A and B are shown apart, each in its own frame.
Chain A
């Protein structure tokens, strides 16, 4: 018998009963074929009819669950499937014959779900699943904390970072260098070059700092970020705040690790032909904030972000109409539609440079424009030179 053959293969070769076991039907697992199917196959009518299984007889192959299961009549309905039962429909497992043949039994569904939970959450899936449920409940009841800037730590860690991680690791293959330059605690200002048409470099830097330095990078964003729906609330929840002197100083004196991209839209919106050429570094506001709070400035050079969306054109009139700094035209966008929005898989290198200390200066010297310009230039030069070094070093854009 086929059943014997299956058994001889051992416990591993378990056949999950899906379908009708060779009899006509819709393949829905229902033992009862549709009327149309019954007309097509009149010979099968007798054996597969809606005949209730007679008590006291073991029926094998009577219903869809014919994978070697013995159905014993009048046996108490024992919940035999334990959590470790996995996806096995237990060859040789006893089932109550009184159950009507309604497709895949509930037990199988449960087993499949437990199996899936094992796959998704690993061995301690019960605890993990309970945690997830608790998380969802807390979110729905509003029982979570945000800080003064609207930063939602839990959501950032569990959701934003988890969503960005595969992109960083699998798509851009982030290589992070100079992590020892990020202080373990206390305020510090990370200053980075900005590129890539869409500020993905900011998100990747946040992820890199979180995963490798175990701190949250608090980015400073342009006011356009906070004007746009959806983006504004996501930005605040992710820890961003407005790039203004007040917020920068408040965060730095509060001991946060603050990220700033002083090139702003000039940096991310520059044409592909000008890649890796640093634009003007704002008005040096970030330097005076660092001087006033006495925190170190950590220059960060990002290589690879320039190539993700090569900006070859712009529609200034439409951009003005929409109130955005530029409308990007890349070799793929908008020509390929949504497909053109997939970034090119360039290889990224993030190098954190040696901190530039500002605590030797007097806070009052932040009012000295010459000093501010000098420090700004020093930071800019450091980043530019590191960029050139990294470019010389890398083998190819996508390798």
Chain B
């Protein structure tokens, strides 16, 4: 008998594409997508259930559909898409708590896959070169996405303690990049002129969007409890990435980049959050030994290849400027 997979956060592109990919997997019998807003694109064989994970209805969905695998993907990174920081926090933290509560009550669920992020490690000058899964951030995140993810991870660990019979796999994905990804980081790289922090050349690690799909399917179809860093091999520095992209960049002092980011956020041009400023100053690297040895997953794109694939989707600067002028 194949597995019945419930995917949260299906209205977003990544969630929808994962649900479709999972529906095509032979070992998965049925995929149910859950979100408050219907998905915009084609969802194929995925059955959509309109439900809010912030209220107990989700427990009924789990029971009714005999769900045995839950893939939690509805942690959003930017307040812009949710309509404000308050809503974002509620969606992320309260939504995850309700989902975990429903899973705890459920008798059918035996596997939980949570898509987390390497943002939980933070970025600071006191960071080790490579974070392993058992390390935490040097300074606890005080706000934003990183704080949400940190709290969600805490609840997931609590759930894993209370329900030892459920396999809990936490995927800490590096910054996902690819032609279809719209994230604060890809928006940053799509700017016509890229602001950089003067005197710093952070190390960046990327995960290709296809590899994210593959690793989530991998985790949903296999029993591999634990926390895993998932990232493409190798690293790029920001200067290297910008040069490979061929976009002009401008280096300015950190406070100026911060001000610029705040201004752009207010003008809704870009979601440039404080934790992103930290990331673009100090960078981050994660160790992926356990991804290979325990999870048994091998990414098909290295960091450099993933970025090269993203570069191909970015129009040359002149076109973007012309497009922007046409729009304005």
Contacts and interface: CB of A to CB of B under 8 A. Distances in A.
Interface string B159-185: 000000000000000000000000000
Contacts of A48: none
B314 interface: no
B284 to A, nearest CB: 11
A149 B235 CA distance: 9
Contacts of B199: 228-233
A247 B125 contact: no
17 contacts: A139-B243, A142-B242, A144-B240, A148-B285, A149-B129, A150-B203, A228-B199, A229-B198, A231-B199, A232-B200, A236-B201, A237-B201, A242-B127, A246-B128, A246-B135, A247-B129, A250-B129
Interface in A231-287: 231-233, 236-237, 241-242, 244, 246-247, 250
B129 A242 contact: yes
Pick the most buried of A141, A228, A232: most chain B CB atoms within 10 A of its CB: A232
Interface string B202-239: 01000000000000000000000000000000111101
Given A232-B199, A236-B201, A242-B126, A142 B244 contact: yes
A176 to B, nearest CB: 29
Nearest to A233: B201
Contact of B239 (A142, A149, A246, A247): A142
A143 interface: yes
Which 7 pairs from chain A and chain B are nearest by CB?
A: A229-B199, A142-B243, A233-B201, A230-B199, A246-B128, A226-B125, A142-B244
Given A146-B203, A150-B235, A244 B128 contact: yes
Interface in A199-232: 223-224, 226-232
B121 interface: no
Interface of B: 125-130, 132, 135, 197-201, 203, 234-237, 239-244, 253-254, 282-283, 285
A140 interface: yes
A236 B127 contact: no
B244 A226 contact: no
A17 B265 CA distance: 63
Contacts of B240: 142, 144, 146
Interface residues of A, number: 30
B200 A233 contact: yes
A363 to B, nearest CB: 17
Pick the most buried of B126, B128, B253, B254: most chain A CB atoms within 10 A of its CB: B128
A244 B235 CA distance: 20
A223 B138 CA distance: 12
Nearest to A246: B128
Nearest to A223: B126
Interface of A: 139-150, 223-224, 226-233, 236-237, 241-242, 244, 246-247, 250
B130 A250 contact: yes
A140 B239 CA distance: 10
B23 to A, nearest CB: 37
Contacts of B242: 142
A147 B234 CA distance: 7
Contacts of B127: 242
Given A150-B203, A233-B237, 8 more contacts: A146-B203, A232-B201, A241-B129, A242-B125, A242-B128, A244-B126, A246-B128, A247-B130
A347 B130 CA distance: 39
Nearest to A149: B129
A143 B240 CA distance: 7
A247 B128 contact: yes
B58 to A, nearest CB: 39
Nearest to B283: A150
A169 B242 CA distance: 37
Contacts of A145: 234
A236 B132 CA distance: 20
A301 to B, nearest CB: 28
Contacts of A231: 199
A232 B201 CA distance: 8
Contacts of B243: 139-142
A148 B129 contact: yes
B239 A232 contact: no
A291 B241 CA distance: 38
Contacts of B125: 223-224, 226-227, 232, 242
